[in-house]
Each structure stands twice: as structure tokens, then as C-alpha cells.
Structure 1
Amino acid sequence: MSPVLHSSARQLADELSGGNGSWVVGPLKGYHHETYVLSLPGKTRVVKIREPRGEILWFDRRCFRSEEELLCALSGYISRIPGIIDMAGMRVQGFIEGEVLPMRRWTGSRVPDVVFDQIVDLFRQMVPITPDMLAVERRCERYDRPENGDCDGFLERLIVFMENHVYHRNRAEFGPIFEGLGIGDEAFDQLRKSVSGLVERDFCLLHADLHRNNFILDPLDQLWAIDWELAMMGDPLYDLATHLYLMRYPADQERRMAQEWSRAVHRVRPRGASGWEQDLERILDFKRAQSVFTDVIRVSLSLREGRDGSGCSPVRLLSATRKLQSILAAAAGPLGLTEVPSRSRIAAALVR
């Protein structure tokens, strides 16, 4: 019988636990990383040991080389983020005890004021943090970083990443599906026309992935923000748009979040909120377009792999078709689609 091969994250967790498997929990559910939680008896330290999954597709542009290095640099600026602990000469993240927001049984997509107000406060804490304040190694080269305030340039870099690293890089495998849905190279030309002309805003730190599973409420109902791997420096309005797009607030709470965000940002750095009312919808259009390219691939892979063993069953295919039709309808304007593909057309493209 062949020996069981463990990931380096699992091997490190076993090593730090002294081989006591009861101290290790995992792997935890997560797309980007294989993660284990290590509890050390007699000590207050509960830490996360993790490593990037090698087989996944990355759909997001990353700015900082090390999330742990960034979290160290943010200590003292952001109040409730994972702490960093040195174990055997290695930096690991402390584990936040609590529940992610979807585990709380609230009504619909509305969040209570105790959570809402803390999210606004998190935005307020990020706005003063500028690129020159953090001595953290970056992934992107200097020529690939727009000048402060160049919000058009900032969004263009995200479009270039999506065009090159999501669409063209996966075109050999998924090109026929995009073609079947009526999406080609011209969609990016139309997208650039749809979102250009943004007002200049002062750049600051962005989390860039603030959704319900990246918020943890501890037993005292204090909100913690986790998973800072996609953090970047850029247009603060992009962080709000991403948050609104991912959170799916009810309409009245979405409006309130935008207004509270603008007040909080304006008090700290007025130029960070310039023109937000006219630009928010443009950036949301970018998020809608981005979702088309990422979700077409993700949905196709989920059907192919059949993670629950059902494969491309009629039920799964119908669910995937409905999801993609909704996403395509939302992005039809910014992508210049003359018509939204019918469900039968989407299903045929997925089956092929």
C-alpha cells in the first residue's frame, strides 16, 4: 500500500503538535488555502496553519507577497484583525474564535446595527492607511501601480488582469463556452467604455474581499475581519463597491451603507470620497462584468467535477443555468451584450 502523502501545512501542524492529532482540526473549508487549526493545551494560543492550494485558479489580482507580513504591519492601525504569532521561527496567524456571519440566524440578507456599524468603522480605519505607511513587500512592479488618485488607471489594471489572467489564460479550455454565450474580446472594449471617466480619489488600503464569510463575530459580538490576502492599495470606492456587490444587502441597507461610508471617509480624508455618487454604479458594473468571467469558469468546473458525486445532473445543470443567466443579465450593459442568452443556449454551452 502506498504511503499517505500529506500537504506541507498538515505536516507542519503535526510537527508543531508533537504528533498529537487531537490538537489539530482540519482541513477547514476554503477555496484558496488548505487550512488547519492548531490548539496547544496549557497555552492560550490557537493558530492557523495553511498553504495555498496548488490546483486552483486565481481570479483576483494580489498586491502583497505575504498576508502575515501585511497583518504585522497593520497592527495598531486596524483594531480587530488576526494577530501574528511566531512558532518555531515561522509566522502564523492567530485563530479568531467566533462565527462567520452566515452562521448567525438573522432574517434574510439584513445585518443588525451592531454589525453594520462595525463594518463602517472598519472602512474608517482603512482610509488613513496610505502606501508610504506600510513597509510591506509588494508583488506588482512599480510600473504596474497607478499614481495616487488615478482611479481610471487603478480600474484599468484590474481589467487587464481579468482579460489576461482569467479570460485569455483559460481560453483554450473555456473559450468555446464563452463563445457559446456570445462573449468575445470585444466585451473588454465595451467594458472600458462603460467604466471610464472616474473622478480622482486619494488611494488607501483596501481589503477588497469584504463578504459575509470574511467577517467573524466573537462571543462579545465584536466584528473581526479575516482573509486579507487580496488586500491592495487603490481607490477606496472600489472597496465599497466590492463589499456591496458581495454582501447583497436589502436595498435600503445598501443605500445606508453607501451613505455611512461616504460620511466616514469624508471625515478622515475628504478626497477619498470625491464623486462617489456618480462613480459607484460604474464600479459596480465592473464587478458585474468580472463575475461573468469568473463564474462561467467556476460553474463549468463544478459541473465537470461533480463535487457531490452527482456530476452534470439535470438538477445541477438547471441551477447552474439559472445562475449564469442572472449574472449575464446583470452584466449585459457594461459588456455590450445585445441580448441575454436563453436558458437553453446557456445549458447547451455548458453541456458542450
Structure 2
Amino acid sequence: MSKPQARRWADELSGDENVVVGPLRGYHHETYVFPLPGRGRYKCREPRPGLFWFDRRCFASEEQLLRDLSGRISGIPDVIEVDGLKLQRFVEGQTLGDLLSDGLAVPRAVLAQILALFEQLARVTTETLSVDRCCTTLDRPEDGDSDGFMEWFVRFTEEHVYRGNLPAFEGLFADLGVGDEGFKYLRKHVSGLRERPFCLLHADLHRENLIVDDELRLWTIDWELATFGDPLYDLATHLHLMRYPVRQARAVAHRWAETVEQVRPGSSVGWEHDLPLLLGYKRAQSLFTDVIRTALSLDAGPEESPRQLVRAALKLRPVLADAALPLGLDSVPGPRRIVTALVRWRREHGVPPA
């Protein structure tokens, strides 16, 4: 079997295939790490083939974005160009997720650096950053149009994540009680947001994208989903993905509001009312992505045991419960019904039942 292109690049640039590490864990890319003489270790990567994109992309090149943010956002990977390839420096350290699993409180020193990141992001606006965009000017909400910004995301979730995958997953969604009507409820749920001035958003700030080095400095990686938009959306995404303890989540939200308001007045206006609405969208979005990913993980092989199916059902049950309100679900299926739905989906797609 031939090597992936990214691996061949890494072998060539390193000069020794034995020093290449990878592929690394990651969803969007096949990534390999290798040393460059006198420069440290760098990443060489390529998009994974046949990838499901669950999130909207804004920028054409993550490497171009990182280059333009150099000196404006601290703790991001350097980017260099070697033989026409743009390479990101590999950040040495441990992910915050490896150090502290979901549900555990984040130390004050790390939290202070996360809030400093939000402060720096709030300073970066569309007028101050010139990076190639994926979308056209006609497909971008006006600065401050928080309702339009959320419609942008709801439409992507409906058209690309839900409807785009209906040929394979319509039966599974139906068995779980999820259908087209859910998006009417979702739009109503997130309507009426206050206007806030747009800024740069990372849009994927979770424990695996935050690296702590040996000097306890925080680095932020994986800017693939960065975009311009409502700053409160970045906070909602962060809180949804970070799984802070409840008390610390409240404290983070209050400190975030104080931080961004000092940078750009109006950035936190109405946040206490709007944050639960945006969290509702994130929970609805997670339902679609988690159902698809869970089903595909079960489809990986024919030897899934009943215990694995039960674990999958126990994982999806709280996801469905969290999304019930924003999607207007009449009821939330129990684990037995979810297992039945997954088994039926596997059977319909040619995978023997466990």
C-alpha cells in the first residue's frame, strides 16, 4: 500500500523516515511530525479523504491565517514554508484534556491565559485582517447582525449536516424522533439576539486544542474552523465543549463579559439572556454530529458487541436530552430504543447485527 502524500512529504523533508511520527490523532487531517535541523519539529498534513464536515469554514488556509495573526495572538504555532509547503510548528507539551479530563476545574493560571486569548480575539476585526475567505461577500452576515450570523450556522447545519446526510441517516434520525420540524423550533429558539460587534472567533476552543508546555504557557492549535462573527458564539462553543464544573462555567462567563467589554464596548451586550440560546444551538448541533459519528464508529466493523451498542446508546441519550428543548422534541428515547435504532441502521447498511 502506498504511503499517504503527507507521509511522503514528511519523509522527504526530514531526510530520515525513522524520525517521522504519525499519523497523529485528529479528525480533519492526516498529520505527521518530523524534525527540521536547527528548527525544531514541524507538522506536515493533508485533508483526510471522504471527510464529513460538520462545521462551516470561513478561511481558505489555516496557515495563511496563522501567519497574519503572528504578533497579534500569542501562543499560536509558527508557520514556515519549505520547498513550497507551508508547515506549522509542532507545539511541544500536553493537551489540557490529557492533564484535566472533562468536568474537572481548570487552574487559575491556565484560565487567565484563556481569557487573555478572548481579549486578543476581540481586537481582531474584519477591517484589521486580510485573509482569503471561503465564502463570498454576499454570503456573510453584516457586522453586528447576530441573528444573521446564527441563521448562517443553522442553515449550514440543516442543509449540509442534516439534509446532506439524509440518504444514509434518515431512518436513524426518524427512529430517534428527529426530523425536519426540529429546525423550525431551532430558528425560533435562537431568534431575537442582541447585536454585538463582530470579531475573530476560534470557534473550536476545547481541551484538546489547548496545549500546556513545560513552562505552563498555553498554546492554541487547530484554527481550521476560525471565523468572524458574534463573540458570544465563541464563548458558547467554548463552554459547551470544555465541560467546566457548573460553578467555574458561570465564573468564566462573567469574566469573559468583563474582558471583551473592556476591549470593544458592546461585545457583551445582552449576554446573560443570549448565552443560553446559543448554548441551545450548540446542543442541537451536537445531536446531529454525535449521531452520525456514533453510527459510523459502529459501522467500522461487524464485531460490535451488545455492550458496545449499549455504551453508544448511553452516550447518545444525554445528547438527545440536551437537544430536546431547542429542537422541540416531543420525547427523548431511552437507551433500549436507541440501541434498537442503531441495530436497525447497521442492518440496513449491510452490517450484521451484533
TM-score, normalised to structure 2, is: 0.95
How many Å separate the matches in 1 of 2:340 and 2:138? Answer: 43
Worse-matched range after superposition: 52-61 or 279-288: 52-61
Cα deviation digits, residues 123-174 of structure 1 (max 9, x gap): 0000010012111100011111000010010000101000111111110100
Does the CA contact (< 8 Å) of 1:128 and 1:269 recur in 2? yes
Q: Partner residue of 1:315?
A: 307
**Selected match of 1:28 from 3, 24, 29:** 24
**Selected match of 2:320 from 302, 322, 328:** 328
Q: Partner residue of 1:181?
A: 176
How many Å separate the matches in 2 of 1:121 and 1:40? Answer: 31
Cα deviation digits, residues 253-280 of structure 1 (max 9, x gap): 0001001100000100111111111000
**Selected match of 1:61 from 56, 59, 69:** 56
Q: Partner residue of 2:35?
A: 39
Q: Structure 1 residue 240 and structure 2 residue 235: aligned? A: yes
Does the CA contact (< 8 Å) of 2:122 and 2:263 recur in 1? yes
Cα deviation digits, residues 9-63 of structure 1 (max 9, x gap): 0111111122x1122111111111100001134x133110001101221100000
Q: Partner residue of 2:352?
A: none
Cα deviation digits, residues 200-258 of structure 1 (max 9, x gap): 00000000000000000111000000000000000000000000000000011000100
How many Å separate the matches in 2 of 1:108 and 1:221? Answer: 20
Backbone CA RMSD of aligned residues: 1.2
Alpha-carbon offset, residue 311 of structure 1 = 3.5
Amino acid at match of 1:12: W
**Selected match of 1:114 from 91, 109, 115:** 109
Does the CA contact (< 8 Å) of 1:303 and 1:311 recur in 2? no
How many Å separate the matches in 2 of 1:333 and 1:107? Answer: 23
Q: Partner residue of 1:340?
A: 332
How many Å separate the matches in 2 of 1:339 and 1:179? Answer: 12
Cα deviation digits, residues 329-351 of structure 1 (max 9, x gap): 11111100111112222111111
Q: Structure 1 residue 198 and structure 2 residue 190: aligned? A: no
Amino acid at match of 1:73: D
How many Å separate the matches in 2 of 1:165 and 1:143? Answer: 19
Worse-matched range after superposition: 82-91 or 61-70: 82-91
Does the CA contact (< 8 Å) of 2:175 and 2:341 recur in 1? yes
**Selected match of 1:13 from 10, 13, 23:** 10
Q: Partner residue of 2:261?
A: 266
Does the CA contact (< 8 Å) of 1:23 and 1:40 recur in 2? no
How many Å separate the matches in 1 of 2:109 and 2:311? Answer: 34
2:123 is paired with a residue whose SS is coil
Amino acid at match of 1:6: K
Q: How has the CA–CA distance of structure 1 residues 107 and 78 changed in structure 2, closer, same or farther, with 3 Å as cutoff?
A: closer
Q: Structure 1 residue 300 and structure 2 residue 295: aligned? A: yes
Q: Partner residue of 2:159?
A: 164
- The runs of 5 or more residues in structure 2 that have no matched partner are 345-354
Question: Deviation above 6 Å: which 4+ runs of structure 1?
Answer: none
Amino acid at match of 1:338: D
How many Å separate the matches in 2 of 1:83 and 1:44? Answer: 11
Q: Partner residue of 1:221?
A: 216
The residue correspondences of 1:66-145 to structure 2 (distance < 5 A) are 66-104=61-99, 108-145=103-140
2:161 is paired with a residue whose SS is helix
How many Å separate the matches in 1 of 2:150 and 2:46? Answer: 29
1:28 is paired with a residue whose SS is coil
2:22 is paired with a residue whose SS is strand
Amino acid at match of 2:166: R
1:49 is paired with a residue whose SS is strand
- The runs of 5 or more residues in structure 1 that have no matched partner are none
Alpha-carbon offset, residue 79 of structure 1 = 1.0
Q: How has the CA–CA distance of structure 1 residues 107 and 291 changed in structure 2, closer, same or farther, with 3 Å as cutoff?
A: closer
Does the CA contact (< 8 Å) of 2:102 and 2:242 recur in 1? no
Q: Percent identity at matched positions? A: 55
How many Å separate the matches in 2 of 1:108 and 1:211? Answer: 12
Q: Structure 1 residue 351 and structure 2 residue 343: aligned? A: yes
Cα deviation digits, residues 58-98 of structure 1 (max 9, x gap): 10000000000000010111011000112113221011111
1:272 is paired with a residue whose SS is coil
Q: Give the length in aligned residue pairs.
A: 344
Does the CA contact (< 8 Å) of 1:304 and 1:311 recur in 2? no
Amino acid at match of 1:84: V
TM-score, normalised to structure 1, is: 0.95
